[in-house]
Amino acid sequence: MESHDENQYLQLIHKILQMGNKETGRNGNTISYFGTTMRFSLQNGTLPLLTTKKLAYKTCLKELLWFLRGSTSNTELKKENVHIWDANATREFLDSRNLTHLEEDDLGPVYGHQWRHFNATYTNSKQDYTNKGIDQINYIIRHLKDPELRSSRRLIMSAWNPCQLDEMALPPCHVLCQFHVTDGNKLSCALYQRSGDVGLGVPFNIASYSYLTHLIAHHCNMIAHEFVHFIGNAHIYEDHIDALKEQCTRKPFSFPTLAINDKYENINDYTWKDFQINDYTCHPSIRMQMKA
């Protein structure tokens, strides 16, 4: 294949279909491959939104900003016409997780809670958790803004909290990321993802953590450099196979670029309207059913 970062994703599909193992999991039959890596350049404002199918990039961005606010309420997402958590927020699904004490659309201490209030005692999504738990995002920002501290090898954020896994509607799939600075001001991010739905989830994860790296670089007066993506169990659902084979016949276009038009003192103040996506050219959408 020609040199284009998106070809790594298409090659991953081929690898799973050719070398993967058939598995029956919690929510369906898959073909799975364990242990894979992709690297995406973020230089010159590059934003790796997949182009071999249309990606709902605004939905992805709104979810990321929801994480950053520390929110765990699906009601907030639905108000912004984001419905990717709906199936995990129903009364039936929460009850299946023994979360009968949570109201419908309360997802428990998922990503946002761990990013901003790690291990703070969780009551419900309406509670104010200010100054409770560990604010991992502020820890990273504080270090990156200090030239003496930004070279630390401890710029790590974890969503995986064994103490609270059973309180979450869904244990985190993208579990740990690490930020790294080269040449004094070039910011990279590496993500370890324990479980990756290659058809639907992984394209979102690539976009989300690339957005995050660009945003934190912008916020800390740095330059976004690279996103490195490690996946443990990379899997394709049985009923996604034909759709992904079709996607693999398509030739990638050039990735779009990202500009963030404003800068705020508080990372919580950014909205999706501050992000300008330029020159996103893509092939048509490919329909795949999301698995709760």
Which CATH number goes with the domain that contains 119?
Answer: 3.30.572.10
Report the run of H or E that residue 61 belongs to, with start and end: helix 57-68
Tokens found for residue 4: 């284009």
In a domain, 101, yes or no: yes
pLDDT tens digit sequence for 249-268: 999 999 999 999 999 999 99
In a domain, 79, yes or no: yes
Domain membership of residue 108 as a residue range: 6-278
| Mean pLDDT computed over every residue of the chain | 96
In a domain, 211, yes or no: yes
More confident residue, 111 or 289: 111
pLDDT tens digit sequence for 184-240: 999 999 999 999 999 999 999 999 999 999 999 999 999 999 999 999 999 999 999
* 173 is an active site residue: yes
Burial class of residue 76, CB neighbours in 10 A (0-12, 13-18, 19+): middle
Through-space distance between the first and last CA atoms of the chain, rounded to whole angstroms: 34
Q: Are 84 and 63 in contact (CB under 8 A)?
A: yes
In a domain, 286, yes or no: no
pLDDT value at position 120? 98
User: CA 184 to CA 181: how far, in whole Å?
Assistant: 6
In a domain, 62, yes or no: yes
Q: Which of 124, 116, 115, 104 is nearest to 167 (CA)?
A: 124
Beta strands in 84-240 (DSSP E): 156-158, 174-182, 186-197, 223-237
pLDDT greater than 90 at residue 24? no
Dihedral sign for Cα atoms in the order 12, 14, 19, 25: positive
Phi and psi dihedrals of 178, rounded to 5?
A: -130, 135
In a domain, 10, yes or no: yes
pLDDT value at position 292? 58
pLDDT greater than 80 at residue 290? no
CB count within 10 Å of CB 244 equals: 23
Domain total in the chain: 1
pLDDT tens digit sequence for 118-154: 999 999 999 999 999 999 999 999 999 999 999 999 9
Q: Are 279 and 256 in contact (CB under 8 A)?
A: yes
* Annotated catalytic residue, options 173, 177, 189, 282: 173
In a domain, 287, yes or no: no
In a domain, 159, yes or no: yes
